Structure 1
Amino acid sequence: MENVPSLRERNIALIGFMGVGKTTIGELVSKKLYRDFIDVDKAIEEKYGMKIPEIFQEKGETEFRRIEKETSIHLCKNERLKILSLGGGAYAQPDIRETCMKYCIVISLDLTWDSWKDRLNLIIDNRPILQNKSMEEIEDLFQKRQGAYDYNSFQVKTDSMNEDEVAEEIVSLLKLGWEWYPPHAVD
């Protein structure tokens, strides 16, 4: 039998499209909850000694997705009490999605297409999947991934909130959930 953590011990996995603010929000939430923060992309970069764009270029997207899957599943199953920020495309992989839903509290950071477009110039340079893509192709990718992000424990609509407000909303939702399901409750 697998050792599934109790609700309070579970990692909190932040999901959402690239550039939605998972890393920034994750760092803020980790400070508020006194938990360590792990950015899955950074963990991959440290393990392989290369930046994500270099991995894409040298190994290709298929190999990157395999590495991403292996790393994400390992962290979800083997870490406890962490805040995890998954890459924007990671959660589109069914195995990662299933593992996260079983071992983590999954919080989807949701942003409308129009709000996301306003951020494009800030993020496009270090996102290999966006390179040489038309706006229509990027919007198609955005829309295609939304279905995966619907599998979550909580969803936070971030359009009208700043980073601190989003982090505070997440902490409030988590505390409410923990109150409803005390430590002795069956998960």
Structure 2
Amino acid sequence: MKIVLLGYMASGKSTIGKQLAKKLYLNFIDLDDYIEEKEKMSISTIFKEKGEIYFRRIEHIYLKEILNSDEKLVLSLGGGTPCYANNMDFINTTNAISVYLKTTIKTLVERLLKEKSKRPLVASLDNEKITEFVAKHLFERGYFYEQANFTLPIDNKTINKIVTEIRILLH
């Protein structure tokens, strides 16, 4: 079994993925961490030095590598992963189960403001501009996110509650 968690940045994919993997006795892979390990540089450095097109190409290659492996795992994607290189089509044609962790703009903005410095896409934005940025991005990406096997609204839920709800979806 492969479980793929997708959603916007700060929707909790990595946090929830780690807990879900622990409960299901599966390995956990964060795609961004995997890319950084393979490329021996941070995502922001890859973007700066090699550009987004290069990043999206290798992101697709590593996604395929992980999903084509025989390993049972929980995989959290980067926020943009489903939107490029026909990645959602690929995910949906594998034996993976995809879950969209759906979060409201309000919740995402609250979370992003707390960790702004760790989020290169919003780090340089004025706080007032972040809501507009998230709303526009979410609108553009929603089409891809909605192609997941399951959509799980997660606002105002504990990590344990979300993990439990995902486990229920899987049965």
In the superposition, the TM-score normalised over structure 1's length comes to 0.83
Given the alignment of the two structures, is residue 37 of structure 1 paired with residue 28 of structure 2, yes or no?
A: yes
Q: Relative to structure 1, is the Cα distance of residues 19 and 111 closer, same or farther in structure 2, using a 3 angstrom cutoff?
A: same
Q: Tell me whether 16-25 or 95-104 shows the greater mean CA deviation.
A: 95-104
- Please name the residue that 1:111 is paired with: 103
CA RMSD of aligned residues (A): 1.4
Change (3 A) 1:158 1:69: same
Residue in 1 that maps onto 2:156 = 160
Indicate yes or no: 2:124 matched with 1:132: yes
Secondary structure class of the residue paired with 2:97: strand
Distance 1:57 1:94, change over 3 A: closer
User: Where do 5+ consecutive residues of structure 1 fail to align?
Assistant: 1-9, 177-187
- The correspondence of residues 1-187 of structure 1 with structure 2, limited to 5 A, is 10-103=1-94, 104-133=96-125, 134-135=129-130, 136-174=132-170, 176=171
Q: 1:122 to 1:73 in 2, by over 3 A?
A: farther
- For 1:50 and 1:37, the matched residues in 2 are separated by 20
Structure 2 letter corresponding to 1:47: K
How far, CA to CA, are the matches of 1:130 and 1:111 in structure 2?
A: 17
The structure whose Rg is larger is 1
CA contact (8 A) 2:105 2:134 kept: no
Aligned length: 166
The farther-off stretch of 106-115 and 127-136 is: 127-136
- Percent identity reads 34
